[in-house]
Chains A and B, each alone.
Chain A
């Protein structure tokens, strides 16, 4: 027997409290699995914000429409990476497409993801940018002109009829897109919520809580990006737009907070067998990430700030500052939601008699560094997308010139 391995494991054993089943001492799903639902949530949330413009005709949000779509695209391209990296055998991940076990919630991941990326996001962005791509293909020089030509699938139609078709198509895709966005993140919640063995996860509210926290995080992200990018492009921040985004953010946080409070009260009131260990989990292991960061800093403080602004009618500069700080705090809070679900759910034993510890690696495939890279990567992709597909589009005169 390998005595070093045994003594190393016995050290880990000492870091557990109470009794933990031996196979549960090491936390299996690492920070990578925290990053995955966080990124997916941002995708769904950003898309829902975009759909407010197209479906619910919230015209004030128009300046954020294209930004929201591109943000969703940039984040969805990276979202499956942490999952694949986490697999013991990433080279076998294609099996999930070829021979999925249809009874498994996880097996549907590939299909839900592919549907959302291919049918919803790419298609909507294509129709939204088709007119601009045609113009850019005409106006830019080789090789850029060819790139736009290929991306526009050699489309050359700038007739009013064609443009009207684009509009109708975009609207139709958004109509399909809203339930798809709900499906995408509700489904991620279902992966956790359907695990009956784990009382911290097993809740019918889990998909709904995931969905609303996704909407919250997506809207907050677009708000941050808009506030950072507009001055960088030399544009004035549209305060009407910003106020409206912040208003939606405020409502979404209220719904999210209510749902989480309902879940919490329900558990406490039912007070099932697991309540003792879950209380211990919150007090001993998740106090900082759940009580302080998720609830206090990530929810109550931003809610109070956003409510304060509505009550006291602050001036534009103060509003900007408060929106920005609130959105940052909300991001932090939603990341903590994912952390508390994924890591928290593995820190107590299914014997309900003990707690274990998660020691995050710094380097390596499951490490903090890679997690930070994966969180930053979508922003790099977004920068590239914004460079080639500026949300301002091509100036209107180009249209008249070319039609």
Chain B
């Protein structure tokens, strides 16, 4: 992509060079298109009705990715929703230490209750990438939004721009940090840590392009929703059985 940009710049600067660079530019474009066709496009499915709130995903993520221990820094977390008979919604964060939610016992006349795992939505139109002033946060060609922590200057604009609260400033590296779909694992053909430890397969990981992927099967069999669709971020984390109260 960079090479193509460079060639475009060169031809823009010196129109005469077009004759020389055009054949190369076409060749590169073809290469990139073929490569892009072969590359997977990663996504994750969350089956809300399957989540039992065990919190394994949160702990596995913290251990796998050196996420700081505090509950104010999370790459993934689980929310517990309790909706009472007055239609009042009580939401709390699943506590990774004792795995109980303080509000559970206080609620009476529960109408419905469920857990919702959250993580970076790996948006197709990521606001975080748009606002990063130095291109430290970027989208890979296989659809994962990553942060280059040797380039990030820690301004925090991406953290403000994320509608899902999925980013935080890492207290040690002083750079933005977030879920990477465990990029180091998936690029080796392994599953993300949270998916690996989920005992109920509430989290389904796969290639959105592949007809044989479990994610494609999920999309075929279930009604799919995403978080905050009105913001046009086009998330690649797809929810099934998502309640309208979840934001």
B153 touches A88 (CB 8 A): yes
Q: Which residues of A contact B71 (CB under 8 A)?
A: 6, 9-10, 13, 22, 25
Specify which chain A residues have a CB less than 8 angstroms from the CB of B97 in the assembled complex. 1, 6
Whether A88 lies near B152 (C-beta < 8 A) is yes
Cβ-neighbour of B134 out of A19, A95, A351 (below 8 A): A95
Q: Residues of A within 8 Å of B, CB-based: how many?
A: 51
When the two chains form their complex, are residues A89 and B165 in contact, meaning their CB atoms are under 8 A apart? no
Tell me, in angstroms, the Cα distance from A25 to B72 when the chains sit together.
6
Please tell me the number of chain B residues within 8 Å of chain A, measured between CB atoms.
45
Within the assembled complex, what's the spacing in Å between the Cα atoms of A196 and B233? 10
Cα(A25)–Cα(B159), bound, Å: 12
A318 within 8 A of B: no
Q: Quick one: closest A residue to B157, CB to CB? A: A106
- Is A99 in the interface zone, CB < 8 Å from B? yes
> Which residues of chain B have C-beta atoms less than 8 A from A103's C-beta?
130
Q: Quick check: A197 and B161 within 8 Å, CB to CB?
A: yes
Q: Determine which of B68, B72, B127 lies in contact with A197 in the assembled complex, contact meaning CB atoms within 8 Å.
A: B127
Looking at chain B's contact residues, the main secondary structure is loop
Within 8 A of B (CB), among A95-127: 95-96, 99-101, 103-107, 109
B151 touches A92 (CB 8 A): yes
Quick one: which of B70, B131, B167 contacts A5, CB cutoff 8 A?
B70
Known contacts A197-B127, A351-B165; is A109 also within 8 Å of B133 by CB?
A: yes
Q: Once bound together, how far apart are the Cα atoms of A103 and B158, in whole Å?
A: 13
Q: How far is the CA of A9 from the CA of B72 in the complex (A)?
A: 7
Whole-angstrom distance between the alpha carbons of A200 and B5 in the complex? Answer: 37
From the candidates B91, B159, B162, B174, name the one contacting A351 in the complex (CB within 8 A): B91
Give, as a whole number of angstroms, the nearest-CB distance from B180 to chain A. 15
| 1-47 of chain A: CB within 8 A of chain B | 1-2, 5-6, 8-10, 12-13, 18-19, 21-26, 28-29
Kindly list chain A residues whose C-beta atoms are within 8 Å of the C-beta of B72.
Answer: 9, 12-13, 22-23, 25-26
Q: CB-CB < 8 A to B247: which residues of A?
A: 350-353
In the bound complex, what is the Cα–Cα distance between A107 and B97 (angstroms)? 40
Q: Which residues of A contact B157 (CB under 8 A)?
A: 104, 106, 191
CA gap between A63 and B165 in the complex, in Å = 51
A19 with B154, Cβ < 8 A, contacts A25-B72, A103-B130, A352-B247 known: no
Beyond A1-B69, A197-B231, A353-B247: 10 further Cβ-contacts under 8 Å?
A9-B72, A19-B91, A22-B73, A23-B168, A28-B159, A88-B169, A95-B151, A99-B135, A106-B131, A350-B165
Jot down 13 A-B pairs with beta carbons below 8 A, ordered by A. A1-B69, A5-B68, A9-B72, A18-B91, A21-B77, A28-B159, A86-B155, A87-B155, A89-B175, A95-B134, A100-B134, A104-B131, A354-B91
Residues in chain A within 8 A of chain B (CB atoms): 1-2, 5-6, 8-10, 12-13, 18-19, 21-26, 28-29, 83, 86-90, 92-93, 95-96, 99-101, 103-107, 109, 191, 195-198, 345-346, 349-354
